Each structure stands twice: as structure tokens, then as C-alpha cells.
Amino acid sequence: MTYSISILPGDGIGVEVIDATRPLLDDAAHAGGFELETTRYDWGSERYLESESMMPDDAIETLETYDAILLGAVGHPDIPDHVTLRGMMLPIRKAFDQQVCKRPSVLFDGVESPLRGYDGGDIDFVLYRENTEGEYADAGGHEHRGYPHEVAVQTAVYTRQGTETIVRAAFEAARSREGRLTNVTKSNAQAHGMVFWDEIVEEVSSDYPDVTVERLLVDAASMDLVRRPDEFDVLVASNLFGDILTDIGAIVSGSMGMAPSANINVEGHSPSMFEPVHGSAPDIAGRGIANPLATVLSVSMLFDHLGESEVARDIWRAVESQLADADAPRTPDLGGSATTEAVVEDIRTRL
């Protein structure tokens, strides 16, 4: 069996965590008895600074031919974020209908939460984020710039197909876990899109009588992810709400540097993309101290998606074993002084 994987390091610490994690892919292939064909594309902000485009014109056609995509991060302090992200990462999620974004938040043994009183395993939930529409739809306009009647309109878009796809994926996940789903919306203020979303959750729930559904408004959900993160199993939320809640999920489970994600094309007609939840972190870029574990865990999710579940589990367990080991190297976000590379090297010895 041969899998083809395109690797997009991107910008800032994206490049550092991808470069460090790269040898792990070959280790995984060796252990799993399959072949990997990888191609690295150095697209991103440096390219933009030279040529005013983040990716070549045929980037989507190029990526389409791969079985999966591994992405670092995108974003550069000298270029507006809406230019870089709308030039590279967001168009990939949309072009390949990566409608389901799966983001686990796990407090691993040996990791300290900034919240008091939680031990390893106490926090373990997964958020299903709608990933191609909602508040991220490219619908709106900005005109009369600089005049008193200047106007900007940003419209959120919720389709039945998109909403039902993410909601069903979340119900399926809840069924395979503890059977509890938290639906997060803002239906008290947003009576069109969010009430529609709630109606779809209600409809789909009749197919999952074994799943208990809790409803939370997003403001209260933000509070509860801090107040009682241990009580969540699966959450489902719109694109923007899911984005915000997964940064909370990452930090209550120890660090932004350990949160992985999968952007999944459910029909399988286009590649899915795997990436850490974090960004390019300009504040620490270039120092070789970024935590690579979010990327390592994203690689685990990538192999799981390709059907190599044993290899995926081994990588996940290597991370668990490293974090549980008080003598293992840790990056500064976890209170250590190890480099990005040293952490991956140690993971490789545990595989």
C-alpha cells in the first residue's frame, strides 16, 4: 500500500513543527508496513512577499491528487491575516469540502491544566466544528471606503447540507463515545441561522435516541468549558464558535501546542487536511522551542483517517507515554526547556 501526502509547512512555527515531525512519517510507514510518497510545497507568506500570491494558481488541482494534506500554520506579522489565510488555508478547506473539523481536547497524564483540581484524563472531549461556511462564508462587501456612509456587511451562511453534515458527524461521534452531545449556538440573538441550526439538531436527534443532547448558548459554553470542562463529551458548533471554543479547549488541557485537528471531506472524493489548531506564533517563531505535539497528534489523526489505525494509536500512545514521563523533554509552554526537535526525537524512540 502506498499513500501520497502533500506537506505544507506554511509560516513561522508551522515550518518548525513540520520539519521536526517529518521523520516520524517515515518511522510510521516503516512500523505500519506501508509506503509513503510525500511532497513538500513551500507555499505561504515568504512566497507572497516575493510574488504577491500565497500559492500557485493550480494549487488546488495539485493537492487534489494526494490522499491527505499535512499543514503547519499560516500567518505573517507583515501581511494582513485576511490576505494570507484567504490566500492559502481557508481556500483549501473550502475547495475540498472539508466540512467536518474534528478537534479533540485531552488533558494528558503528566500535564498540568491552568485550572485547579484536574488530573490526567479528567478533561477529554472532542469538538465538531462546521468548517466551510457559517460565519466564514465569503459573503458580504465593503464600500464607500473613507466616507461617512462607509458600510461593511459580513453575512453568515448556513446550508441544510452543511449543517446536517456536521451535526450528523457529531452525533456519530457521541454514539461511539459516551453518548453525550452539547449543541452550542446563539439562538437568543441570531434568530435565523442559529435557530435553523437548532432545528437541524432536533431533527437529526430522532435518529440517535441513544444520544443525550444538551443545549448551551455560546457565552455560557465558554464559561462552562472553564468551570466544568470534565463534563463534556462531544460538542458541535458553527465555524466561528468552534474556532473560539477550541482555543479554550486547548489551553484548559495544558497548551495551545498540543491541540490537533482534522479537516475531513466526509465523502472521500477529495483529500482531508490535518493541522495543529495553533497558528504561526510569531512571538516564539525562529527559536526552535515550539511544541510539536499538536502536529504529532495531527499526524496520528491523519493515519487514522487513512485507515492505518494501529500506527495512529501507536503515535498517540507515544505522546501519552512522553507526557507521563517526568524525565522526558518538554518545550517551555509545558514548563521545560527542550527544543522542538528534541521532543520529536524522544517520541521516535518511544514508537
Size of the site for ligand IPM (CB under 6 A): 5
Vertex 105: Cα angle to 99 and 111 (nearest 5): 155
Given ligand NAD, Mn ion, ligand IPM, none, residue 231, with its beta carbon under 5 to 8 Å by kind, binds none
CA atoms within 13 A on the CB side of 74: 26
Question: How far apart (Å, rounded) are the C-alpha atoms in residues 116 and 118?
Answer: 6
Q: In angstroms, give the least distance from the CB of 189 to ligand NAD.
A: 25
Q: What are phi and psi of 186, to 5 degrees?
A: -145, 55
Identity of the residue, 90 or 217, whose beta carbon is nearer to ligand IPM in the bound complex: 90
Residue 212: exposure state from Cβ atoms within 10 A (0-12, 13-18, ≥19): middle
Residues 212-271 that bind Mn ion (CB under 5 A): 243
Instruction: Mark 261-300 with x for binding to ligand IPM (rule: CB under 6 A) and - for no binding.
Output: ----------------x-x---------------------
Q: In angstroms, give the least distance from the CB of 81 to ligand NAD.
A: 4
Instruction: Mark 192-231 with x for binding to ligand IPM (rule: CB under 6 A) and - for no binding.
Output: ----------------------------------------
Pairing type for strands 2-10 and 234-237 reads unpaired
Q: Within a 10 A sphere around the Cβ of 338, how many other Cβ atoms?
A: 18
Residue 214: exposure state from Cβ atoms within 10 A (0-12, 13-18, ≥19): middle
Size of the site for Mn ion (CB under 5 A): 1
Q: In angstroms, give the least distance from the CB of 243 to ligand IPM.
A: 4
Q: Residue 85 interacts with ligand IPM (CB under 6 A)?
A: yes
Q: What are phi and psi of 132, to 5 degrees?
A: -130, 0
Identity of the residue, 63 or 294, whose beta carbon is nearer to ligand NAD in the bound complex: 294
**Which parts of this chain interact with Mn ion (CB under 5 A)?**
243
